[in-house]
Amino acid sequence: MKHPVEGWWIHPGTGLDSRNFRGHRLPGRVFEHPAYTEDTFVLDASREPLTDAQLTLIFTTRHKTQSPRILWDAWWRGRITDDQLTRWLYYVCAGQSSPLDVFEEYKWRTMFRHVGFTFDGQPAEPPTITATLYRGSPFKYRRRWSWTPDLSTALKYAQSARRLPGVVWAADVPCERMLAMITECREVIVDTARLPIRKFAEVVHTDAGPVVKYVDEPRPEDFSTFDDYVAWRVRSERVL
């Protein structure tokens, strides 16, 4: 079956409903299965450049987990410019709940390194100093790439019900490891390969609800506001 954008085709044997190329008739839990994160479109041998209008149609009519592979393929085959890669890399990465689950880490790294540091999808001067960043997640996800300079944001992720038992991790991130910044969610994309990461705090269950136990002493500048820091001082339970 031919996709509305010239040059893109559905693979046979993927299990997608041939009457609906978006796959909406599949149950959500099935479509999230790794078998369905494979790109169901392949580029033909054409070297014709893809316009922004075509890319918009492609990325808005595909399941978001397929977007990284489509973007990589288009860039690797020379069908989009570096400027298009810069803008669409931000869109595609920000749309993933867990980017490293749906696409190879080295390919993400290759694209980010190629475009250089970006700020909300626009080229920007990279940071010049090492920064302490935080991540709220279980142990096995501590090396994922989404980090934040705001301890309050990391605590929210660590305490969310579906992530318990949760931990807040901290890392002193050199400027060259920071790949991009997304201000909407106070997020910094960090290449964590071989980066030293330490446990900063952990979340434990009590009858009264989740309690945060700190391994490291937070600083006022770790919080969004001084009131958040004061609130932590009032209710925190530090591990000595």
Q: What is the pLDDT of residues 48-63, one digit of tens each?
A: 888 889 888 888 877 7
Q: What distance lies between CA 10 and its chain's CA centroid?
A: 26
Q: Put the strands of the sheet holding 178-182 in their side by side order.
A: 122-123, 118-119, 178-182, 187-190, 146-147
Residue written as token pair 């808005």: 60
Model confidence at 179: pLDDT above 90: yes
**Cα dihedral 6, 76, 116, 151 in deg (nearest 10):** 80
| Mean pLDDT across 178-196 | 92
Query: Is pLDDT larger for residue 6 or for residue 95?
Result: 95
Of 203 and 223, more confident: 203
Tell me how far apart the alpha carbons of residues 25 and 21 are, in angstroms, rounded to a whole number: 10
User: Among residues of the chain, what percentage have pLDDT more than 90?
Assistant: 35
Residue 15, by phi and psi: left (phi above 0), alpha (psi -120 to 50) or beta? left
Q: What is the pLDDT of residues 61-111, one digit of tens each?
A: 777 888 899 899 999 989 999 999 999 998 888 888 788 888 899 999 999
- At 164, is the pLDDT very low, low, confident or very high (cuts 50, 70, 90)? low
Q: Is residue 16 scored above 80 in pLDDT?
A: no
Residue type, 184: E
Distance (Å, rounded) from C-alpha 79 to C-alpha 43? 10
What is the per-residue pLDDT across 124-134, written as a single tens digit (0 to 9) for each? Answer: 999 999 999 99
What tens digit of pLDDT does each residue of 201-221 get? 988 777 777 788 888 666 666
Mean pLDDT confidence for 9-14: 36
Is the pLDDT reported for residue 167 higher than 60?
yes
Residue 195: name the closest of 240, 136, 135, 239 by CA.
Answer: 135
* Cα–Cα nearest to 183, from 149, 229, 212: 149
Q: Does the predicted model carry a pTM greater than 0.85?
A: no
In three-state secondary structure terms, 163 is helix
Segment 164-182 shows an average pLDDT of 91
Confidence check: pLDDT of 192 > 60: yes
